[in-house]
Copies of this chain bind each other. A is one copy, B any other.
Amino acid sequence: MSAGFLLVLSGPSGSGKGTVSEKLMAKNDNIIFSTSVTTRTPRPGEVNGENYFFTTIEDFEQMVEEDELLEYAFVHTNYYGTPKKFVFDEIEKGEIVFLEIDVQGALQIKEKYKEAVFIFLLPPTMDELKFRLIKRDTESEEEINTRFRNAFKELDFVGEYDYFVVNNTVDDAVADIENIIAAEKLRVKRHKDIKKEIMAEKGEEL
């Protein structure tokens, strides 16, 4: 009596979605991490089909043309995308597929596949967001300010999502997402015939 679904965790840069995702996946080994397809060269130790599906630019662009991706982006010199086949195959098996992605990517997915569950991760405060961006220490003040303004603008898109989670602490945010997953498993709309299911499962007939 379980029906799979795609869970999309998204939020602005500095919301902490990477850390929250890591903790969520570490705690829940029954959730399948969505594997991306990319044109970048594998790093030592990376396994095709595990870390990424590695492919050529030509093949990637053909996937785009044939609408085989839920979303994609061109970052620096490489393509990254989410293959429909992987996601839909796992959902078909009843699995929960998890995808952590930026706001632009999530909005692309929503256009193609609104049946996914969309969670927007919010920073606890704008001060904290700025603090997190500064803490990265890899960017100039100008870059930090640009990121901060972008993050502030991206908060406008929270209305497009199903749920919001405030990242006060990583543990609280993970617990909120776990609650959402537990509730979404009980959604009627993902089941064709619950009455039949409940009886078939028990091998009963009236």
Q: Which residues of A contact B (CB under 8 A)?
A: 1, 120, 122, 124-127, 152, 155-156, 158-159, 161-166, 176, 179-180, 182-184, 186-189, 191, 194-195, 198-199, 202, 204, 206
B125:A202 contact, CB within 8 angstroms = yes
Chain B residue numbers with a CB within 8 Å of A127 are 202, 204
On whether A191 and B204 interact (CB within 8 A), knowing A176-B186, A180-B183, A182-B179, the answer reads: no
User: What's the nearest-Cβ distance from chain B to residue A159, in Å?
Assistant: 6
CA distance A158 to B198 in the complex (A): 12
> Given B125, B156, B164, B195, which contacts A188 in the complex, CB threshold below 8 Å?
B164
A155:B122 contact, CB within 8 angstroms = no
> Given B122, B188, B204, which contacts A162 in the complex, CB threshold below 8 Å?
B188
User: What's the nearest-Cβ distance from chain B to residue A96, in Å?
Assistant: 14
User: Which of A1, A161, A195, A202 gathers the greatest number of chain B CB atoms within 10 Å?
Assistant: A195
Chain B residue numbers with a CB within 8 Å of A179 are 179, 182-183, 186
A158:B202 contact, CB within 8 angstroms = no
Chain B residue numbers with a CB within 8 Å of A159 are 188, 194
